[in-house]
Homo-oligomer: A and B are copies of this chain.
Amino acid sequence: MDLSIIGYDPVGAWSKTADTVEGLLQYRNPGGITWINVNGLERPEIIHELAEFYHIHPLTVEDILDTEHRPKAEEFTKYLFVICKAMRGGDESGTEFEQVSMVIMENTVITFQEVAGDSFDGIRKRIINDAGRIRRMGADYLSYALMDSIIDTYFTVLDRQGNDIEQFEDRAMDERDDNFIPDLQKVKQNLQHLRRVIWPQRESIVMLQHLDSPLLSKEVMPFLKDLQDNLVQAVETVETYRELLAGVMEINLSSMSNRMNKVMKVLTIISTIFIPLTFIAGVYGMNFEHMPELPLKYAYPITWGVMILIALGMLGFFKRRHWI
């Protein structure tokens, strides 16, 4: 668990880390924007200290510590509280979700990351190195940039899922693939998890736009609208994937049943041809003393001829009915 603080204004920017909350808070940037990042949630007392200092509601603290919470945005008297979910993975080993909570105040943003990681490194660098738009704008734009970098992880994961699904299209026609259905179910469940995260994420962004909070300036609104567009696109991608999977499933079922039908037809035809012939052979294998055909000279070749005629007749019958 580590604590980092970044202060910036249009003119300059600096970054510090600390071990204690007091140590951290002395670096606050009263004239500019302050971004505090809490990496990992192993020491709840640190979160409680921060909450006390910034007058954060106990329910918000509870939500920060409950890493199973679904994405949401809530307005409190002095701050906005946003829960996001970053994604990792997306290949066969499944998708992992990391909860990132944000408290957005007047000139301060506090972020709480479930897992210590470097997801925000890009933004950190943009702030420190680059005197661009992010430095000129307020805490609301910073929180937008953070949400944007979180939502970008969705598209990485969705791309990987897309590749997976393409493989299923090839596997759909392979009848010896016993794991096809269970594997497909896993991907399906994974997609449902994604949708469960992306959809409330979209709702929370929509809610932020409708809040009419003084903490969100007019300039940041088009950016939030853009995030919303991205999330709608992500939801649509998930829907497209689900439909692709449903289609693949249908192809698989129909190909299985087609193949089975063909196998059965071969059996039908071979059996149906030989069973009557075997019967004829059985008849002339009977041991009655008085069977007039037995002593005839050409009985045997005639029998063969009859049997061949029957076989050809049946083949013709099946052919005419398009069974072969």
A294 and B303 in contact, given A176-B322, A222-B76, A244-B189 (Cβ under 8 angstroms)? no
CA separation between A181 and B246, bound complex, in Å?
Answer: 12
Q: Mark A254-289, 1 if CB is under 8 A from B, else 0.
A: 111110110111111011101111110111111111
Identify 13 residue pairs between A and B in the complex whose beta-carbon atoms are under 8 Å apart, listed by A's number. A57-B222, A59-B222, A59-B226, A185-B247, A192-B240, A263-B265, A263-B268, A271-B271, A271-B275, A274-B276, A275-B278, A287-B287, A290-B299
- Is A74 an interface residue, CB under 8 A from the partner? yes
- Is A54 an interface residue, CB under 8 A from the partner? no
What is the chain B residue whose CB lies nearest that of A186? B247
CA separation between A322 and B176, bound complex, in Å?
Answer: 9
Cβ–Cβ contact B279 & A181, under 8 A: no
B-contacting residues of A (Cβ < 8 Å)? 57, 59, 62-63, 68-70, 72, 74, 76, 175-176, 178, 181-182, 185, 188-189, 192, 196, 222-223, 225-226, 229, 232-233, 236, 240, 243-244, 247, 250-251, 253-258, 260-261, 263-268, 270-272, 274-279, 281-300, 303, 322-323
Residues of chain B with a CB closer than 8 A to A63's CB: 226
Cβ–Cβ contact A256 & B251, under 8 A: no
Cβ–Cβ contact B282 & A185, under 8 A: no
CA separation between A97 and B282, bound complex, in Å?
Answer: 68
Residues of chain B with a CB closer than 8 A to A233's CB: 68-70
Residues of chain B with a CB closer than 8 A to A291's CB: 287, 300
Cβ–Cβ contact A299 & B294, under 8 A: no
CA separation between A322 and B297, bound complex, in Å?
Answer: 44
CA separation between A275 and B267, bound complex, in Å?
Answer: 10
CA separation between A297 and B290, bound complex, in Å?
Answer: 6
Residues of chain B with a CB closer than 8 A to A62's CB: 226
- Looking at the assembled complex, report how far the CB atom of A293 sits from the nearest CB atom of chain B, in whole angstroms: 7
Residues of chain B with a CB closer than 8 A to A294's CB: 287-289
What is the chain B residue whose CB lies nearest that of A282? B281
Cβ–Cβ contact A181 & B250, under 8 A: yes
- Looking at the assembled complex, report how far the CB atom of A11 sits from the nearest CB atom of chain B, in whole angstroms: 22
Q: Pick the contact of A257 from B70, B196, B256, B277 — CB < 8 Å?
A: B256
Q: Pick the contact of A247 from B176, B189, B279 — CB < 8 Å?
A: B189
CA separation between A70 and B234, bound complex, in Å?
Answer: 11
Residues of chain B with a CB closer than 8 A to A274's CB: 275-276, 278-279
- Known pairs A63-B226, A182-B251. 6 more at Cβ < 8 A? A68-B233, A181-B254, A260-B264, A275-B278, A277-B282, A282-B285
Residues of chain B with a CB closer than 8 A to A256's CB: 257-258, 261
Q: Pick the contact of A255 from B181, B264, B279, B293 — CB < 8 Å?
A: B181
